[in-house]
Structure 1
Amino acid sequence: MIPSKLSSKKRLKRYGELVNVLIKYGFEDFVSKSSLNKIIPENYLKNHNTVKKNLSYSTFERVRMVLEELGPTYIKLGQIFSSRDDIIPPKLISELEKLQDNAPVVEGFDVITVIEQELQIQVEEHFQQIEKEPIATASMAQVHKAKLLDGEDVVLKIQKPDIGETIEADIAVMKQLVKSLEKFSNEIQTLNLGSILQTFEKSIRKELNFLEEIENNKRFAENFEDNESIYVSTVYEHLSTSKIICMEFIDGIKVSDIETLKLAKIDPHSISNVITDLYLEQVLVHGFFHSDPHPGNIMILPDSCQVCFIDFGMMDTVLSRNKEVLENIIIYFLEGDVRKISLSIENIAVKYDIKDYKSFELELNEMIDNISNTTLQNFKIDVVLNQFKSILSNNNIVLPDYLNSLIRGLILMEGVAVKLNPDYNITENLMPYKEKILHKRLSLQYIFKKNLKRYRDYMELIDNFPEDINDIIRKVKEGKFVMTHQHIGIKDFQKSSGEIANRIVFAIIIAALSIGSSILVLAKMPPLFRGIPLLGAIGFSLSFIFGIYIMISMVRNRK
């Protein structure tokens, strides 16, 4: 687990490391974009290959390098942002996607010592051998292949050393940075970085506790115990802790390795449909789904053609009360019912501040029309979901964390499926689920449960009604009953009232000047200029100027 408190000394040290890395890459980026790049001697670059190489990197490549050098927390954050193309440029996303499988290996990592200390065992009493070099490395752990005494091949997922304190310091730095940025810029506030960071913190704390991953693995296995198209690896709990997982080694083919699949006489087209159906079953049937289904986490067993999902550290749950709303969104999406889609989004959103409902529904309608006018061969779910995310962002709608994870998961799944089958279309897989949902809702059991729930809700409302009335009366008696109201358009009214008042004042001044000037002219009050009283002429001139000013302002306001 991550320590709840971190000493200021360690936090300060992490601030120093962060600043050093940013200065390092920021300076190199500055040199590459400035005229300094032209005046650096060629001989210097020849003798300093690292500098020459760094100067050749693009800005986004350096962003990725910064994240890699800063360590696990920033790598994981980069992975999350790799799916946020609504706020991240496409070229940066392509760099962040490289963080998925290419996390750096920890230097000087003594795997035997770590295992013995964490499991409190002698390695030779449980393992025939353990490979010292990892077969895979992720942002928070390394995976080492091993063999048990009975000859069973296993893998050991081992948490990287001191990662808890590093993550705690990084999260503190990120919170302070986001807080400062949101104070500095209103535009940054609209990006909702605080919410993204909160989701990230929650996710990384869960992922860091391997006991949760073990429970996820067991729950996933129970959900699919009767499904022969999927295989779930076995976890050896007696050789696992919160920092180490010992599990069955899956000798499978990576789902993106199409050539090897064909050599194994496995049809990539059929596999694309199977993995999609399995993923939809996770979401719509069990409400418990893999939120990081990139190609590295999906294997195909060559002998049985079964699909095997690995790495259950990032899983999400659809609450039962939200599952029906999610089903509604899918049905209305397939039917193109914009009005019901918008109502369902409001129902499921964490918060929303839609300024213009007509504009919101118009954007949704344009999205549906684009889908309707697109052939099945050209339909891409990632394009639709990214457009959907933009619509939500434009209308200040914040979805629950699990829905953001689901959108990311569906985009990843489509990417995998399209590689297996270029003609892949997810709507073909969704249609059977639509029929199942509609059939379920017509069943007597569903209707009975639905009406029973409504009856209970109504009875609860009736039971609580007297108590609620008493609370209102008590607050009135105690003088604590407060009613708030809002004047819609009061600012515009105040502005227009102010303009009218100013014009009235000007009109009174003009009238006074005109009357006064007339009296002066009639009385021929000196001094005179060519027989005309000078003060009267000045008064008439000012009246004329003010009158022209009022007429111009009125014409402008009409426009």
Structure 2
Amino acid sequence: MLAKYGLADWVSDSTPGFIRRRFVTGEGIAVTEYPVEVRIRLALTELGTTFIKLGQMLSTRADLVGPELAAELAALQADTPPDPPELVRATIQSELGAPPEVLFAWFDDKAVASASVGQVHLARLADGAEVVVKVQHAGIEGKVRSDLSLLATVAQLAETNSKELARYRPADTVAEFSRSLMRELNFHTELNNLLRFSQNFAKDPRIRIPAAFPELSSRRVLTMERLEGYSIAHLERMAADGVDRVAFADLFANTLMQMIFRDGFYHADPHPGNIFVEPGGRLGLLDCGKIGRVDEQTRDDFIAIVAAFLTSDVEALTDQLIELCETPPDLNRSAYRADVAEFVGEFGESLQGGLDLGAAFEAMFAIIRKHHLIVPPRVNMLLLVIVQIEGTARQLDPNFDLTGTLQAYGADLLRKRFSPGQLQKEIVRTLRDWRHLLRTLPRDTSTLLERIQRGELQIRVQQHGLQGPLNRLTYGILVAALLLGSSLLWALAAPPAPWGISLFGVLGTALGLALGAHLLYLIWRA
């Protein structure tokens, strides 16, 4: 597959044209005519569900793959044909214990949509309620598990054999992706998300979350209420219905901000197709399978970064980003600070005239990638969702500015952060930690002294990066020994020695020279 899409090293510009022309897309276009980002997207699409999902996940990691590839991977869509009706009915009966005609007053055998994981059918309950039934594709879980096992093996090999790739910890990225995808394959996850969102916004009549039906749901089947409205992508229909797009953009943005900063549990895929205009101008949310969580520490870190940027405090922003990310041991702090200062100077001037958050985050990710910092997945998802919120809101209101909303929520969080109640909680937590330390310190100290007296104290020193040089040193000693021994055999004309030349001496010397050249190559590559 990599060879077909020109992603293998041997399919390059130096490869004869008659070979490269054999690799074409479904439209008959030579794949090497496309940019590498497009070829990666095409290869992932052809590899199927798991790799499409991997590409979609990587599209959120501009800090790892760069903005160009991230933008291309964001266009990945799974064109998966629906399962035949008899297979769908068998899945429902297996999961829910009865066929569709018994569970529903009406069930449409024809799927209205089919994605990589499942397909959607319309149905009606006995009480007349209109619902949608999401059914997982048959056999998809086994295929996904097999693909994930392959990805884990490849990621581990890449991390072991490439210092450059090891910086980005591909094994951890694949592990994170595996956990996310396996959660997505379990429809109980989306069911619980729907129930939690409904509870969080139960007192807000402006927000409509589809009601879930646990008794008609399982690990592979999900039944939920069918919303009556339409996607906000239909701007003409919103205008015809008299919907105030500016007010709706504010409602949408504030709803997502409440999820993030109030609840710490937010919808992580807020694109226009998942945002509905409901009767009465209410806001409906669809596809709650992908969510993000924000703990108290992450909220505090994010607000500190926003505050440092808004006040153009270069030192504070530099320190906050280093504290937030995982930094390499060889970080050039002065060069990093200079890049942050340039970033603040470039985008700080835009604060009064409307800041483009997407461009600002893209520039920030470029700095992070340049200096090999690693953004924690939870923070990366939060930043991406905030950019999506601004982009979606600007489709409704081109003049929408999320900066003011962020400032308002940041100020509110700072007030709560230093409120008497919160300070009291932190004091109690700190006192609890000190109490635990003082209670265990004498025992730990006594145990340490006893081990020292018995001579059982062990100090382990682990040196990283020495295995390669040690291997090359051993290799060099063996090559030198081979050359020395072969030279002696040659000089002494040790038999067998046709024409007075030691055969083993010649062969050993030739082998030693070849191995010596290989050793020099290894040293040069390292």
TM-score (norm 1): 0.74
Alignment equivalent of 2:147, drawn from 170, 194, 198: 170
1:183-194 aligned within 5 A: 183-194=160-171
Secondary structure of 1:397's match? Answer: coil
Matched, 1:311 2:293: no
Residue 88 of structure 1: CA displacement? 3.7
1:69-468 aligned within 5 A: 69-88=46-65, 92-100=69-77, 102-106=78-82, 108=84, 110-301=87-278, 303-349=279-325, 353=329, 355-374=331-350, 376-377=352-353, 379-468=355-444
Show CA shifts across 1:366-387 (max 9, x none): 2222221125555211122222
1:385 and 1:211, CA in 2 relative to 1: closer, same or farther beyond 3 A?
Answer: same
1:194 and 1:150, CA in 2 relative to 1: closer, same or farther beyond 3 A?
Answer: same
1:214 and 1:304, CA in 2 relative to 1: closer, same or farther beyond 3 A?
Answer: same
Q: 2:324 and 2:25 mapped to 1: Cα distance?
A: 54
1:31 and 1:271, CA in 2 relative to 1: closer, same or farther beyond 3 A?
Answer: same
Q: 1:177 and 1:38 mapped to 2: Cα distance?
A: 26
Q: 1:174 and 1:260 mapped to 2: Cα distance?
A: 44
1:245 and 1:354, CA in 2 relative to 1: closer, same or farther beyond 3 A?
Answer: farther
Residue 284 of structure 1: CA displacement? 1.2
Larger deviation, residues 362-371 vs 273-282: 362-371
Structure 2 unaligned residues grouped into runs of 5+: 464-526
Q: 2:21 and 2:196 mapped to 1: Cα distance?
A: 62
Residue 350 of structure 1: CA displacement? 5.4
Give the aligned residue type for 1:268: R
Q: 2:52 and 2:218 mapped to 1: Cα distance?
A: 24
Give the aligned residue type for 1:336: S
1:481-496 aligned within 5 A: 481-482=458-459
Show CA shifts across 1:385-444 (max 9, x none): 222223333334333321121122122222212222222221111121122123223432
Secondary structure of 2:74's match? Answer: helix
TM-score (norm 2): 0.78
Show CA shifts across 1:525-544 (max 9, x none): xxxxxxxxxxxxxxxxxxxx
1:345 and 1:354, CA in 2 relative to 1: closer, same or farther beyond 3 A?
Answer: farther
Structure 1 equivalent of residue 513 of structure 2: none
Whether contact under 8 Å (2:238, 2:245) holds in the other structure is yes
Residue 97 of structure 1: CA displacement? 2.2
Residue 291 of structure 1: CA displacement? 1.9
Whether contact under 8 Å (1:104, 1:137) holds in the other structure is yes
Give the aligned residue type for 1:365: A
Secondary structure of 2:219's match? Answer: coil
Show CA shifts across 1:315-344 (max 9, x none): 122223443333333333333333333444
Larger deviation, residues 103-112 vs 395-404: 103-112
Larger deviation, residues 349-358 vs 363-372: 349-358
1:468 and 1:350, CA in 2 relative to 1: closer, same or farther beyond 3 A?
Answer: farther
Structure possessing the higher radius of gyration over alpha carbons: 1
Q: 1:430 and 1:208 mapped to 2: Cα distance?
A: 34
Residue 287 of structure 1: CA displacement? 0.9
Structure 1 equivalent of residue 446 of structure 2: 470
Residue 76 of structure 1: CA displacement? 0.7
Q: 1:64 and 1:409 mapped to 2: Cα distance?
A: 22
Q: 1:54 and 1:123 mapped to 2: Cα distance?
A: 47
Give the aligned residue type for 2:394: V
Whether contact under 8 Å (1:351, 1:399) holds in the other structure is no
Whether contact under 8 Å (2:309, 2:348) holds in the other structure is no
**Could you tell me the percent identity over the aligned residues?**
25
Give the aligned residue type for 2:300: E
Secondary structure of 2:433's match? Answer: helix
Structure 1 unaligned residues grouped into runs of 5+: 1-20, 41-47, 487-559
Larger deviation, residues 462-471 vs 58-67: 58-67
Whether contact under 8 Å (1:287, 1:317) holds in the other structure is yes
Q: 1:215 and 1:293 mapped to 2: Cα distance?
A: 18
1:52 and 1:229, CA in 2 relative to 1: closer, same or farther beyond 3 A?
Answer: same
Residue 275 of structure 1: CA displacement? 1.6
1:356 and 1:127, CA in 2 relative to 1: closer, same or farther beyond 3 A?
Answer: same
1:351 and 1:210, CA in 2 relative to 1: closer, same or farther beyond 3 A?
Answer: farther
1:181 and 1:309, CA in 2 relative to 1: closer, same or farther beyond 3 A?
Answer: same
Q: 1:420 and 1:71 mapped to 2: Cα distance?
A: 34
Q: 1:86 and 1:103 mapped to 2: Cα distance?
A: 28
Secondary structure of 1:52's match? Answer: coil
1:445 and 1:88, CA in 2 relative to 1: closer, same or farther beyond 3 A?
Answer: closer
1:25-36 aligned within 5 A: 25=5, 35-36=17-18
Q: 2:330 and 2:241 mapped to 1: Cα distance?
A: 53
Q: 2:270 and 2:381 mapped to 1: Cα distance?
A: 10
How many residues of Structure 1 are paired with residues of Structure 2 in the alignment? 458
Q: 1:434 and 1:453 mapped to 2: Cα distance?
A: 24
Whether contact under 8 Å (1:253, 1:261) holds in the other structure is no
Q: 1:464 and 1:258 mapped to 2: Cα distance?
A: 64
Residue 23 of structure 1: CA displacement? 5.5
Secondary structure of 1:145's match? Answer: strand
Q: 1:197 and 1:362 mapped to 2: Cα distance?
A: 33
Secondary structure of 2:120's match? Answer: strand
1:347 and 1:152, CA in 2 relative to 1: closer, same or farther beyond 3 A?
Answer: same
Whether contact under 8 Å (1:131, 1:145) holds in the other structure is yes
1:307 and 1:132, CA in 2 relative to 1: closer, same or farther beyond 3 A?
Answer: same
Residue 238 of structure 1: CA displacement? 0.6
Q: 1:194 and 1:265 mapped to 2: Cα distance?
A: 51
Q: 2:314 and 2:437 mapped to 1: Cα distance?
A: 31
Q: 1:90 and 1:439 mapped to 2: Cα distance?
A: 35
Q: 1:328 and 1:300 mapped to 2: Cα distance?
A: 34
Structure 1 equivalent of residue 477 of structure 2: none
